Structure 1
Amino acid sequence: MTSTLDVGDARLAYTEAGSGSPVVWLHGSGPGATGMSNFGGNLPAFEDYRNIVVDLPGWGESPRPETDEPLIFHAADRVCRAMTALGIERAHLVGNSYGGAVAMRIAMRYPERVDRVVLMAPGGVLPSDAPPWPAGLERLFGYMAAERPSREAMAEFVRLMVYDESLATEALIDERYESSLRAHPELPIPPNFGDLTPDLGRIAAPTLLLWGREDQTVPLAWAPRILAGIPNAELRVLPHCRHWVQYERAPEFNHIVREFLQGGAAAALEG
């Protein structure tokens, strides 16, 4: 069940499930994205955590406030306000794509609020030769630019997010399409997301990067810059997988992330 929080100059929608150490889940910027559309299938594997699944400003049930601030920066501050309103001093952050960028921004600016960070093909750090954009971003921006995008355009976008196109079910396409019509963001193309590159070294939290080897939206070739920039980061690459790692490879994702949040993987680096 979705609830809404007052975060000062905006309202932020979220879903809460489970109990234990807090985990804040941050979704991507694709058309029709919501917190639960990105992560609802993963939550049963994390029921021993207090899961806060956010709809970032302008997506899902969270209204888009008027702001000239880069979207990543704006969203990060509102997520931190939501954490405060929920009585959460520190949390693990799990972010996909745009949500990964929001998680990085929080870890840079509010390190005292962050335990561990999991990033699935995060945005916010571009190579020097972009554009041209990868196929997935071209589809995303094209969908955003359409006055009334079609269901077929959504189907093409969803199929590009997964290596196994059988996972691009009609039900999933319908869900994302209907959601995109309710909350179609009015943004410049490409949007002003903001650049996190200069501050990567400020991320002190243990960080796990997860990438689909065949990602056509935020390509694996973009990973080394982030991996080199974050002092305590490691990278896991999943083959036969594109951009939606948490969806396409859910069992492996759940196992890897649980191990990491419990202190595995990067524990030696922390020591």
Structure 2
Amino acid sequence: MTATPLTEENTSRTVTTKDWTLHYNEAGQGHPVVFLHGSGPGATGWSNFSANIPPLAERYRVLAVDMPGWGRSDAIEGGERDHTAATIQFLDELGIEKAAFVGNSMGGMTALRLAALHPDRVSHLVTMGAPAGRGGPGLFGPGDGPSEGLKVLVRGYLDPSEATMAELVDVMTFRSGTDREDLARARATAAQARPDHLKNFLEHLQRTHQVGTSATDSEIAHISTPTLLVHGRDDRVVHFENSLRLVSMIRDSRLVLLNGCGHWAQLEHATEFNRLVTDFIAHH
């Protein structure tokens, strides 16, 4: 009997925590693996990890959550975007004691902070294109100004058209590939569906000059969770030197640096990425 293919809709779930109603996608059984998406316009758990959820769900219980302020989750008006607290509430409401965390970019920042502040809740830590704490170059690269990718990301919040989203796909990847238009269309549709998310993100960015809350260098240096760092050599959003810095700070860590790869390693090199993560969780 052929299994029904996993889709965004048939894996869609909603949970109400103490502070939020959060949308997430869930599939599979076994040890929980929580995917945390990046900060781009139209980003959701499914859009960031659609190439990873089905393969990993063959072995693990996979959950890809939309953070407050993204996707179909609650909006945030003002205040700090504490994704660490939101994630802990998510785990508590679903009765998950400990999980592996896989975070891309902003999601990597959240995963690092979780491992630093709540080590008892994190069994494995995987980041892709994550900024390196508060002392690293982050989204501003080797120079003083915002990275090329961050500039396009902000433009996508100001103008969530398919044309702008196509530019976003181009800067997030080393090679856009044949699915460029499909990715751009999906991002534009998701972004345009929630103008409140777009407005609130831009207001938050203008007020704080931050897309998320980073762990401090001292907190990162105390992470003892087994950690896999993945970074694209050609990342134009968060420079790969961030992960070089992280691997020097986290004692039980290893780094995979991929040539011909941009900011979305999990999509551009999906087969290799899925194998790396599956083996890492299974053997550490």
Q: Mark the CA change 1:150 to 1:44 in structure 2 (over 3 Å): closer, same or farther.
A: closer
User: What is the TM-score with the length of structure 1 in the denominator?
Assistant: 0.90
Q: Mark the CA change 1:124 to 1:2 in structure 2 (over 3 Å): closer, same or farther.
A: farther
Work out whether 1:8 is the aligned partner of 2:30.
no
Q: Within 5 Å, which residues of 2 pair with 1:238-249?
A: 238-249=258-269
Q: Within 5 Å, which residues of 2 pair with 1:112-261?
A: 112-123=120-131, 125=133, 126-127=136-137, 131-144=144-157, 146=158, 148-183=159-194, 184-185=197-198, 186-187=200-201, 188-189=205-206, 190-191=209-210, 193-198=212-217, 199-261=219-281
Q: Mark the CA change 1:250 to 1:192 in structure 2 (over 3 Å): closer, same or farther.
A: closer
Given residue 33 of structure 1, which amino acid in structure 2 is its aligned partner?
A
Please tell me whether the aligned partners of residues 42 and 71 of structure 2 are also in contact (alpha carbons under 8 angstroms). Answer: yes
Unaligned stretches of 5+ residues in structure 1 = none
Q: CA deviation at 1:131?
A: 3.4
Aligned to 1:95: 103
Q: Mark the CA change 1:39 to 1:149 in structure 2 (over 3 Å): closer, same or farther.
A: closer
Given residue 86 of structure 2, which amino acid in structure 1 is its aligned partner?
R
Q: Mark the CA change 1:192 to 1:31 in structure 2 (over 3 Å): closer, same or farther.
A: closer
Q: Percent identity?
A: 37
Work out whether 1:86 is the aligned partner of 2:97.
no
Work out whether 1:27 is the aligned partner of 2:37.
yes
- Give the distance between the partners of 1:30 and 1:13, measured in 2 at CA: 17
- Give the distance between the partners of 1:130 and 1:76, measured in 2 at CA: 29
SS of match in other structure, 1:210: strand
- Give the distance between the partners of 1:230 and 1:130, measured in 2 at CA: 25
1:207-244 Cα shifts (integer Å, max 9, x gaps): 00001111111111222222222221111011111010
1:43-80 Cα shifts (integer Å, max 9, x gaps): 221122011110111111111233522x3xx1111111
- Give the distance between the partners of 1:228 and 1:124, measured in 2 at CA: 11
Q: CA deviation at 1:93?
A: 0.4
1:103-140 Cα shifts (integer Å, max 9, x gaps): 11111111100101110011363328663122111111
Moved more, 221-230 or 21-30: 221-230
Please tell me whether the aligned partners of residues 162 and 248 of structure 1 are also in contact (alpha carbons under 8 angstroms). Answer: yes
Unaligned stretches of 5+ residues in structure 2 = 1-10
Aligned to 1:39: 49
User: What is the TM-score with the length of structure 2 in the denominator?
Assistant: 0.86
1:29-51 Cα shifts (integer Å, max 9, x gaps): 11111000111221221122011
Work out whether 1:52 is the aligned partner of 2:63.
yes
Q: CA deviation at 1:166?
A: 1.8
Count of residue pairs brought into register by the alignment: 259
For the aligned residues, what is the CA RMSD?
1.7
Given residue 42 of structure 2, which amino acid in structure 1 is its aligned partner?
G
Aligned to 2:7: none
